[in-house]
Structure 1
Amino acid sequence: MNDVTFADLGLGPNVLKAVEEAGYTTPTPIQLEAIPHILAGGDVTGIAQTGTGKTAAFVLPMIHRLARGRARARMPRCLILCPTRELAAQVAENFEKYGKHLKLTMALLIGGVSFKEQEGLLQRGVDVLIATPGRLMDQFERGKLLLMGVDYLIIDEADRMLDMGFIPDIEKIVSKIPAKRQTLLFSATFPTDIQRLAKTFQRDPVKIEVARPTDAAKTITQHVVHIPTNDAKAKRTALRRVIEACDVKNGIVFCNRKVEVDIVAASLQKHGHDAAAIHGDLPQAFRTEVMQRFRDGDLKLLVASDVAARGLDIPDVDHVFNYSPPPKDEDYVHRIGRTGRAGRTGKSFTVVSPSDEKSWGFVLKMIQQDVEEFMPEGLLEELENLPPEERSSRGGRSGGGRSGSSVSSSRARGRGERPERGRSRSKPIEDAPKADVDVAAAPAPAPADEAPKPERTEKPKRERAPKAAKVEKAEPADVAEQPEKAEKPARTERGSRGGRPPRDQKRKDDDPILAPAPERVKGFGDDVPAFLKR
């Protein structure tokens, strides 16, 4: 079977010429089995681990089939759906590379890229449209393209689509494509939901599975680095020492969270390593530039989230570093599969802290093989001698008042205190553990924020003082000139909910006509005139 060449698979001369110019002569197992079925027009479900040549397995026969026919305006003939922008761009590169001797047109619809140029191509008609589901639905709903002319549908990295929540979008897209079509579905794993998709979207597909998804490539030498602490600073230190102990031409560092990607990349740059970050929150133009630098050999270390773990074909990666074991154990195979591609050798290193042991156990259970222990010389001693403030994430093991504390840690404890909130300044040593945690969370801005507090409390006092002076000025004048008006504070009683009695009583006291009768009718005795009684 190793004697079979691409020419034996039935590909056209123009495609074979491009393959030969790319330096390939022998097809991989997935290509060997998939290409003849695709050329025959049947549906195919391809299950193969990353790095086995899945992209070329559908790109080569598609180019051959698209050589006959012509695209119409806004109606692509072949639609390829990819989960990420990077993977879509890579598929586009494959079409350009293998289709350069054929007059095929192609458009790429991905987020973060101007649509004007692609819109012009779609208006003239394209043979191949490569897109992410979100951008495709956006342009379809705007009326910029029509899907009733699609003869070939390819869903790449279907399990990744499932993980990213694209399945509802894909179902909506498929409902707008003609039922009479050829559908190809490629995936690294084949969970139940992907099996359901295959039954729904495909007609009598040929299932091709060339390797178990839990098998790591045999050309990859795997290592694990166990460290005794969960401290993030210690973990970054261990990662740097591992990288420095290896002869790294280029490598990918995988992190579980986007925020870790940024922090680890900054740490590597700070310590003199040529590194750059890439994850889904970064602008597309920046991600494209970083990936191109890495492919061209201008960037040594790519710090990435799992957005780069699937499908990216960078054949010359010789090292993969896992900052932590992945949360999903099957992603471990996809990550380390970035190295050791196409028969090349590669090495992988995974840093495991005490909190990572459970995840690492699942990985070992899945791959069912031993992983070699690795420990750079002097690393354990270095981790043990880390300054106290760098161990703060372990619940306050800071060494507070020990004589060996550094000057910087003492200053940090001083900054981390909260004396203004009812706490005595005379207890810095007792408060030291909490102070270290506060310093780790927000080191520098704290003193600046606390300093102006007395000024803010003095300001209202200056504003209240003039008001008090005004009242004192007004009182003597009012009392002297209008004694009756001195009772004006009684307005609060008038306006209160006390009712009319206080108001009536005031009128009787102030009005001479309504004054108490005994004082006004003196001398009449008991015969008080009627008009005075009113």
Structure 2
Amino acid sequence: MRGAVRPPWPPRAASHRRGKILSTFRELGILPETAEALEAVGITSPFPIQEMTLPVALSGSDVIGQAKTGTGKTLGFGLPLLERVTVPADVEAGRAKPEQLTEAPQALVVVPTRELCQQVTNDLLTAGKVRNVRVLSIYGGRAYEPQVEALKKGVDVVVGTPGRLLDLAGQKKLNLSHVKALVLDEADEMLDLGFLPDVERIINMLPARRQTMLFSATMPGAVIGLARRYMSQPTHIRAAAPDDQGKTVANIKQHVFRAHSMDKPELVSRILQADGRGLAMIFCRTKRTAADIAEQLTRRGFAAGAVHGDLGQGAREQALRAFRNGKVDVLVCTDVAARGIDVEGVTHVINYQTPEDEKTYLHRIGRTGRAGAKGTAVTLVDWDDIPRWKLINKALDLPFDEPEETYSTSPHLYELLEIPEGTKGILPRAERTRAGLAAEEVEDLGETGGRGRGPRRGAPAVEEERPSRTRTPRQRRRTRGGAPLDESGTP
């Protein structure tokens, strides 16, 4: 932190009396240019996690930040991260000296999914726009060359997934020796056994003297214990609005129904026609189910897209862009999209299949009811999944221990979800107003590897015919005990 030039802290601490936030980002001491960039998009007052984190993180201390999903964690770590970076605008403003400038990344954010990588990058670009902070997203499924070219030109902040970060660092294309601040976003996932070895390798490439921040909605004790190995006297911040008790966000209306798997497509089709339904996300446990449900809903007249691991990166980004642009209003996805996807206007989340655990449940339903908006979450529990649901229900202290048996014709379904009477499982033609997934172009990303993806960059689109054999195949002689055999097989 550039201590000598930091604006003085406000004389009073921010307060939450009677549920009102009595501070602005400017009062919390962020740079005027950053505040200007936020105000340009209508952001002036912080959420609790931002208000509690900023004074600690701006001082350079290590932070473990925990807050419910949809309550502004990205800016909670993003603003302090941007303040740690020295850019030409700081030299012009007299806050830094020219020799402090570097083309190598000065801050690193590590995230578990490609979709979250894009989300965080966009938020940081928005907040750093006036200071012209260069932010680069690095993740797999895209061609290496544009990412390498951007690194050569110079970047200030890198947001990336572990695999591609290690690839580029191993090739000496990514220099991490100047990183002053590290963030692990969705830290519980990043420190899970699947990611942990890669994360440790990345951390070992960073300078020992740095600021480390961990943020997530769910932070089990074991993860916190593990995290402290990489941190120096971290401050653990848990933030919640004064009127928002419990582990789930208060403004998300939750419904849990016991449903038969054969009836689920019909049931979901009717839920999607509820009064006031905006954008909707449907979560499945398997890639096959996600692909199948997206196809079924499209046949029923809904503008639906899918995001799952069997799709190429171009197709995943096409579906997300179409969803954000309103060309499709139903996104069917696996849990790859349960963390970090922040799309305005998502009013309904449907758990088509019961989530694996309570953490996944929280992240899934957290796609709605974001930033103070209201939302509806519907969970459909198969008979076989009742034991799994009971564990989730108990862990989150929810009142749905015995989900009500529900079918697509059940009167209580129509009443609870405000579905108009007489609604059937096919969207009437008059209501099919969305352009659909095909209206959103697939971007050529020069994709690398994986199923369902196009040819490698530079590879022929169609496999070339093999040339005819140019030499006589080798003739093998049959022998027994060293003696040659005749055609009948006798020596």
Selected match of 2:215 from 186, 191, 194:
186
Of 69, 72, 81 in structure 1, the residue corresponding to residue 102 of structure 2 is 72
RMSD over equivalenced CA pairs, Å: 2.4
Indicate if the aligned counterparts of 1:90 and 1:312 stay in contact, CA closer than 8 A.
Answer: yes
1:200 aligns with 2:232: no
CA distance in structure 2 between the aligned counterparts of 1:164 and 1:349, rounded to whole angstroms:
30
Say if 1:250 and 1:318, in contact at 8 Å, map to a contact too: yes
Unaligned runs of 5+ in 1: 381-490, 497-534
Of 223, 226, 243, which aligns to 2:255?
A: 223
Contact 1:48 1:213 in 2 (8 A): no
Pairing partner for 1:55 from 64, 71, 74: 74
What does residue range 403-414 of structure 1 map to in structure 2 within 5 Å? none
Matched, 1:303 2:322: no
Percent same amino acid among aligned pairs?
38
The question of 1:378 aligning with 2:419 is answered: no
Q: Secondary structure at the match of 1:313?
A: coil
Contact 1:223–1:374, Cα closer than 8 Å, also in 2? no
For residue 7 of structure 1, the aligned residue among 3, 6, 26 is 26
Closer/same/farther in 2, CA of residues 495 and 12 from structure 1, 3 Å limit: closer
Is 2:84–2:180's contact at 8 Å kept on the other side of the alignment?
A: no
- Report the AA paired with residue 82 of structure 2: I
Partner of 2:171: 142
Compared with structure 1, are the counterparts of its residues 260 and 340 closer, same or farther at alpha carbon in structure 2 (3 Å cutoff)? same
Question: Residues 188 and 213 of structure 1 are in contact (CA less than 8 Å); yes or no, is this contact kept in structure 2?
Answer: no
> Which structure carries more relative contact order (alpha carbon 8 Å, separation 6+)?
2
Select 2:119's aligned residue among 82, 90, 114.
Answer: 90
CA drift of 1:240 comes to 1.9
Whole-angstrom CA distance in 2 between matches of 1:162 and 1:42: 20
Indicate conservation of the 8 Å contact 2:178/2:207, yes or no: yes
**Matches of residues 120-519 of structure 1 in structure 2 within 5 Å?**
120-163=149-192, 165-211=194-240, 215-227=247-259, 229=260, 232-371=261-400, 375=406, 378-379=409-410, 495=490
Q: Is the 8 A contact 1:31 1:53 kept in 2?
A: yes
CA 1:168 to 1:11, structure 2 compared with 1: closer, same or farther past 3 Å?
same
What whole-Å deviation, never above 9, does each CA across 1:190-210 have from its counterpart, x for those lacking one? 224422332111101111012
TM-score w.r.t. structure 1 length?
Answer: 0.68
DSSP 3-state at the match of 1:347 = strand
Give the TM-score of the pair, scaled to structure 2. Answer: 0.73
Verify the 8 A CA contact 1:46 1:209 in the aligned structure 2: yes
Q: 1:381-417 CA distances to partner (integer Å, 9 max, x unpaired)?
A: xxxxxxxxxxxxxxxxxxxxxxxxxxxxxxxxxxxxx
The Cα shift of 1:71 comes to 4.7
Tell me which amino acid in the other structure corresponds to 2:188: D
Query: For 1:238-294, what per-residue CA distance to the aligned partner results, in whole angstroms no more than 9, with x for missing partners?
Result: 222332345421100000111110111111111111111101221111111211121
Q: Which runs of 5+ in 2 are unaligned?
A: 1-14, 16-20, 91-95, 412-486
Gap change, CA 1:373 and 1:130, over 3 Å in 2: same
Partner AA of 1:221 in structure 2 = K
CA distance in 2, matches of 1:107, 1:117: 10
Paired with 1:374 and 1:226, the residues of 2 have a C-alpha distance of 5
> Matched residues in 2 for 1:210 and 1:273: separation?
38
The superposition leaves residues 271-320 of structure 1 with CA deviations (integer Å, 9 ceiling, x where unpaired) of 11111110122111111121112112221100011111112222321000
Once the two structures are TM-superposed, the CA of residue 121 in structure 1 deviates from its matched residue by 2.2
In 2: Cα distance, 1:164 partner to 1:84 partner: 15
